[in-house]
Structure 1
Amino acid sequence: MEKLISYPLSILYYVLFLLWLIVFHPIQWFCYNVFGYNAHRGSVAIMNLFLIRTTHLLGTTYTIIGKENIPKNVPIVFVANHQSLHDITTILWFLRAFHPKFISKKELGKGIPSVSYNLRKGGSALIDRKDPKQALTEIKNCAEFINKNNYSVVIFPEGTRSKTGIPKPFSVNGLKMLYKFAPDAYFVPITINNSWKMTKFGQFPLGLGNRINFKIHQPLKISDYSFEEISEKTEKKIVQSIKI
């Protein structure tokens, strides 16, 4: 029954989703080119609010736990498990005060209204998975950028989305570059639950009535740990709170 009801709602959702991306693309361009970084960041945040509100058509709700744990006025490396596209829109809206950037595959940097423009102009790292040297250089540049400006970067160490919620093994290469080149930063582990259920039937139709939960754990100051220690602690905190 859920799948049957979801067909018309999913069509409406995707129409509105695409509409917001198209509408906000020129708005982003105008804000960036006329008013600069902060105006552009504000336009991206508002767009993601629209995208979040659109998921309410599907009965989606959001709970963010532990936001008070995030230290302020310091660079942040948000490390999270990855379950769906909705992880990104949630972070961009609810954690907007921390100027989140993303470690993203380069293919997303072109051809997608609003999304590609933000990735290219907003300070994110666009990596070529087939070119390790290029990927590590991009991550290094992003790490130095957030370290200098007290911004944040989001990395999903699994490298791809989990379609069942079961976490994949974490890759350490990207984390190691952020650890090395953002020495003033804190690792902030985030556990995401139930986001995968949005696409439990595939990309169409979408799942209904899901409660997406973000648990933000206590921060770990990079300078207090060796890389091996902070990497192990971060993965353990994330994985232990995943509920399948």
Structure 2
Amino acid sequence: MVEAAAVLKHGSRGVAAALVLGFFGVIKPLQFYSRVLVYLLLIAGCGIYGALASIVLTLAGKQGLSQWTTARVFYTLARYILGIKVVISNPEALKTRPAVFVSNHQSELDILILGATFPQYCSVTAKKALKYYPFLGWFMTLSGSVFIDRKNRSDALKAFDSAVKKVNRDKQSVFMFPEGTRSYYQEPGLLPLKKGAFHFAVQGQVPVVPFVASNYSKFFSFQKRIFEKGTIEIKVLDPIETKGMTAADVNSLYEKVQTSMKETVDELGYGSLYNDKLK
């Protein structure tokens, strides 16, 4: 029994040492898995922080800052621990309030991008299933996220109606990924956008603010099992007003945003690997 415990102890130390070496790229085959593990631990830790911060900020009448402060803490930790830097062009547009913010959606690493860009007094919309996820779901519930049951059109419309009222009443912005799913593109590209975000913006008579992230598959890719240091460039486009628009204008708004985001995706190209110290 004692011998088995000793073997287990030494085995655990060996696994931990291997993961550490993998994280720093010494054991290359383990690098992806080690860094993903750290990424997930950061999400879990910040989820707990966010849940606690949400309680405090809600009691202080500042619930709208819950997701913003959690996002910034997560990005700060991820930037220095994982070495992923985000550079933002036209950051002033992120101060538009209220607004519907939309972005391209490449992979699970986009949580880090939201960490760097998420505006104050803004909440995400998310699938209802996420509500029941440990840590992340707890935080999202406490911080006032809008959950949508995509399987039930009636419930989804009710969720949108309630969110529009919140936007107008509290000047609370919302964030959406209009592609609807992660693209996992290995080269710069954009999936066809879904129109929900644009119906929402027109219904609320608030501007749409698109922003686009460069393709980061050179240093993060699930398919290729790559997770290294790198720089992601974000370009925030100017707000597109919707005042006076009706449901009949949603298609033209959609096409305008789709075109501008696709052009920006092509313009930004790839994010870059780097090994320099973060400044």
Task: Sort the TM-score into its range (normalised by shorter chain).
Answer: 0.7 to 0.9
Contact 1:41 1:122 in 2 (8 A): yes
2:52 to 27, 32, 36: 27
Shift of 1:107: 0.9
Structure 2 distance, partners of 1:43, 1:70, is 17
For residue 91 of structure 1, what is the aligned residue in structure 2?
Answer: 114
Contact 2:50 2:67 in 1 (8 A): no
1:222 to 234, 242, 247: 242
For residue 207 of structure 1, what is the aligned residue in structure 2?
Answer: 227
Contact 2:78 2:112 in 1 (8 A): no
For residue 233 of structure 1, what is the aligned residue in structure 2?
Answer: 256
Pair 1:189–1:11, CA change in 2 (3 A): closer
Shift of 1:232: 1.2
2:166 to 121, 125, 145: 145
Structure (1 or 2) with the larger CA radius of gyration: 2
Report 1:1-16 matches (<5 A). 3-4=28-29, 6-7=31-32, 9-10=34-35, 13-14=38-39, 16=41
Structure 1: gaps spanning 5 or more residues: none
Shift of 1:134: 1.0
SS in 2 for 1:166: coil
Shift of 1:175: 2.4
Structure 1 distance, partners of 2:54, 2:210, is 32
Pair 1:158–1:19, CA change in 2 (3 A): closer
Structure 2 distance, partners of 1:11, 1:85, is 10
For residue 92 of structure 2, what is the aligned residue in structure 1?
Answer: 68
Shift of 1:58: 2.7
1:112 counterpart letter in structure 2: P
Shift of 1:188: 0.8
Structure 1 distance, partners of 2:54, 2:104, is 31
Contact 2:100 2:197 in 1 (8 A): no
Structure 2 distance, partners of 1:81, 1:19, is 24
1:79 counterpart letter in structure 2: V
Shift of 1:93: 4.6
Shift of 1:116: 1.4
Structure with larger RCO (C-alpha < 8 A, sep 6+): 1
Report 1:109-128 matches (<5 A). 109-113=131-135, 115-128=136-149
Structure 2: gaps spanning 5 or more residues: 1-21, 271-279
Answer with 76-85 or 19-28: which moved more: 19-28
Q: What are the superposed Cα offsets for residues 26-45 of structure 1, whole Å, 9 maximum, x if unpaired?
A: 52354156x2441x554543
Structure 1 distance, partners of 2:47, 2:150, is 28
Contact 1:86 1:195 in 2 (8 A): no
- Aligned length in residues: 236
Q: Percent identity?
A: 22
Q: Which runs of 4+ in 1 moved over 6 A?
A: none
User: Does residue 78 in structure 1 map to residue 98 in structure 2?
Assistant: no
1:130 counterpart letter in structure 2: K
1:189 counterpart letter in structure 2: P
TM, length-normalised to structure 2: 0.72
Structure 1 distance, partners of 2:40, 2:126, is 25
